[in-house]
């Protein structure tokens, strides 16, 4: 399902999945750094929205519903030059038409790199 997607291009791997919680990792390398050599904020946001999307999809009726990002924000609190960032997403609100997810990205020493909140729309399949 990730072949030929942004997840594959950025090296994002989902490592843990349960109802209401998702963990994924992403390398900080030539694919995810900005020109000044640090983790690109857009790559962090892509990882955060991936975690929220995967988690939201696990909480809906997959026969009749899909999910899509409605809004996302992020605060980039620490730079990262190399290594791996890990995102842990947890559901804050699970409604009939929306879900709100809290996502924290940390480094290998468990230092906060980015904190994000993502609102997911729950959409009925046509």
Rounded CA separation 59/94 (Å): 8
User: Catalytic amino acids?
Assistant: 49
CATH architecture of the domain with range 6-124: Roll (3.10)
pLDDT of residue 91: 98
Average pLDDT of the residues of the chain = 97
The length of the chain is 126
pLDDT of residue 24: 98
Inter-CA distances, 39 with 54, 114, 126, Å: 22, 10, 39
Contact indicator for 89, 48 with CB cutoff of 8 Å: yes
Q: Averaged over 56-77, what is the pLDDT?
A: 98
Q: How confident is the model at residue 2 (pLDDT cuts 50, 70, 90)?
A: confident
Contact indicator for 113, 76 with CB cutoff of 8 Å: yes
Contact indicator for 122, 69 with CB cutoff of 8 Å: no
Task: Give residue limits of the domains in the chain.
Answer: 6-124
């Amino acid at each position: 399902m990730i072949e030929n997607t942004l997840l594959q291009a950025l090296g994002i791997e989902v490592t843990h999945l349960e109802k209401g919680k998702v963990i994924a990792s992403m390398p900080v390398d030539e694919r995810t750094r900005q020109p000044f050599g640090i983790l690109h904020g857009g790559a962090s946001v892509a990882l955060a929205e991936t975690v929220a999307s995967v988690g939201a999809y696990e909480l809906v009726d997959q026969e009749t519903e899909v999910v899509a990002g409605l809004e996302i924000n992020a605060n980039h609190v620490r730079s990262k030059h190399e290594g791996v960032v890990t995102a842990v997403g947890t559901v804050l609100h699970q409604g009939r038409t929306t879900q709100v997810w809290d996502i924290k990205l940390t480094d290998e020493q468990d230092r906060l790199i980015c904190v994000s909140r993502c609102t997911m729309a729950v959409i009925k399949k046509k």
